[in-house]
Amino acid sequence: MSVLTIKDLHVSVQTDDGARPILRGVDLTIASGQTHALMGPNGSGKSTLAYAIAGHPRYEVTSGSIVLDGDDILDMSIDERARAGLFLAMQYPVEVPGVSVTNFLRTAATAVRGEAPKVRLWVKEVRETMDRLSMDPAFAERNVNEGFSGGEKKRSELLQLELLRPKIAVLDEIDSGLDVDALKVVSEGINRVRESGDTGVMLITHYTRILRYVKPDQVHVFSGGRIVERGGAELAETLESQGYERYAGLDLASAGSN
């Protein structure tokens, strides 16, 4: 079983006016086979946590630790983190002109697995995965994210997730912009990955609709750069009915204590 442990994490983002503190002491542990939903209003720190885990250069960890299976990932480069078993599905996936989805996937799988997949087996694996995600086979020959709709981009991220089989998957608002049918397909993909027992999922979202299809083991509410409440799936239902207003005062309290 793999475990990602985040302890007392403080992160600042580089702006034109200098470093601005965003995360103010985050503690979180995710294990294989678990799904943790991170919820909260815009600017509360959810995506900052995702970028800090991935190693985005604009996000500086000023204190605290992120440890995967006993290894401090803060000492790793971005590609080393990916090879160690971390995966980030971005909220706004970038276009990669001139690189086909097929070549991109095989290159990524080679880097993560340590050897190139055998072509015949790989083609079969990709086709079966695409079929589960209701993707047209011709999609594999398109350039990565170039001209993709929002739903196609999110399915492409899920295709990568299912093929790369990471230890920990960070999914940053993978439900944004999806219609009901696409949401169900994406949710089924997340559930397949989780039910394999090999991957822990950090699901960052504003809304509860995806949690009707992907049942979280724990829900964590962000406010003011901290986790201010934790609970089971029922906490998401409370947020649906009450919103985030009751946490608004905690933003100032958190900022004032740092």
CATH code for position 224: 3.40.50.300
Spatial contact of 2 and 167, defined as CB atoms under 8 Å apart: yes
Q: Which parts of the chain have pLDDT scores under 50?
A: 252-258
Cα–Cα dist 14/193, whole Å: 34
Cα–Cα dist 131/152, whole Å: 14
Cα–Cα dist 240/234, whole Å: 10
Give the range of the structural domain holding residue 214, as residue numbers without chain letter.
Answer: 3-256
Q: What pLDDT was estimated at residue 69? A: 96
Spatial contact of 165 and 198, defined as CB atoms under 8 Å apart: yes
Q: What pLDDT was estimated at residue 249? A: 61
Q: What pLDDT was estimated at residue 58? A: 92
Q: What pLDDT was estimated at residue 245? A: 81
Segments in 114-215 forming alpha helices (H): 119-132, 150-164, 180-195
Q: What pLDDT was estimated at residue 90? A: 85
Residues contacting residue 183 through CB under 8 Å, at least 6 positions apart: 175, 209, 210, 213
Number of domains in the chain: 1
Q: What pLDDT was estimated at residue 92? A: 84
Burial of 245 (0-12, 13-18, 19+ CB in 10 A): exposed
Residues contacting residue 75 through CB under 8 Å, at least 6 positions apart: none
Q: What pLDDT was estimated at residue 176? A: 87
**45-77 b/e with 16+ CB inside 10 Å = b?**
bbbbbbbbbbbbeebebeebebebeeeebeebe
Q: What pLDDT was estimated at residue 243? A: 83
